[in-house]
């Protein structure tokens, strides 16, 4: 197997196994048996299981950020921020409920910051908004997105977060534009 193909096969194997059982019940032996490779090949690509988990999450996060370049609404923000969790629901819950939760949380925060920045920058579009206001508004949206997603994960994804967030968007319609208008007044 070519090196990048082997790496992807190992990553796919862990994702598949995470759909079946918690991370604490998966060993490197399970992964190499599933892939049909030896342990040395695994260790050539990854230092350990947390390194593999991080590689998977990093790749998924990068893919999400490349896919959402022109975010024009809060609705798109939540869809983008939730994509990783929705696409790999059981695997994400198994990672989130493991000792590797911090890896997931770090990349989720990065995704939330990316989509909030893309949204606000798109909304500003050439307006002379002071940098301190732009940064404060992005920080607010990043933390709001992240907070909603973490709360949703803590509740085992038991409610329809996207539906709830869409309702919040309806209730808040025009508020971001109002913040930007006020920023320009000062």
Domain ranges of the chain: 1-46, 49-185
pLDDT above 90: residue 40: yes
Q: Cα separation of 83 and 78, whole Å?
A: 8
Could you confirm whether domain 1-46 is CATH 1.10.10.60?
A: yes
pLDDT tens digit string along 2-37? 788 999 999 999 999 999 999 999 999 999 999 999
Mean pLDDT of 81-87: 79
User: 141-171: per-residue pLDDT in tens?
Assistant: 899 889 988 998 999 888 888 788 788 878 8
Residue 1 has pLDDT above 60, yes or no: no
Going by the DSSP 8-state scheme, the letter that residue 88 receives in this structure is T
pLDDT at 186: 64
The whole-number pLDDT of residue 109 equals 92
Overall pTM > 0.95: no
- Mean pLDDT for 39-51 is 95
* pLDDT of amino acid 115: 86
What is the per-residue pLDDT for 16? 94
Virtual CA dihedral for 7, 9, 14, 15, nearest 10 degrees?
110
**Contact predicate 95/57, CB 8 Å:** yes
């Amino acid at each position: 197997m070519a090196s990048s193909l082997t790496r992807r096969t190992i990553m796919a194997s862990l994702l598949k196994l995470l759909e079946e059982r918690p991370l604490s019940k998966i060993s490197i032996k399970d992964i190499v048996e599933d892939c049909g490779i030896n342990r040395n090949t695994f260790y050539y690509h990854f230092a350990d299981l947390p390194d593999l988990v991080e590689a998977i999450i990093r790749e998924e996060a990068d893919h999400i950020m490349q896919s959402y370049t022109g975010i024009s609404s809060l609705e798109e923000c939540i869809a983008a921020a939730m994509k990783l969790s929705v696409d790999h629901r059981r695997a994400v819950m198994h990672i989130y409920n493991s000792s590797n939760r911090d890896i997931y949380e770090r990349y989720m925060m990065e995704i939330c910051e990316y989509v909030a920045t893309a949204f606000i920058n798109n909304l500003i579009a050439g307006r002379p908004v002071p940098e301190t206001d732009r940064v404060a508004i992005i920080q607010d949206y990043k933390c709001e997105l992240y907070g909603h997603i973490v709360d949703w994960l803590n509740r085992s994804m038991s409610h329809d977060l996207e539906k709830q967030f869409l309702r919040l968007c309806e209730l808040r319609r025009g508020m971001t534009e109002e913040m930007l208008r006020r920023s320009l007044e000062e």
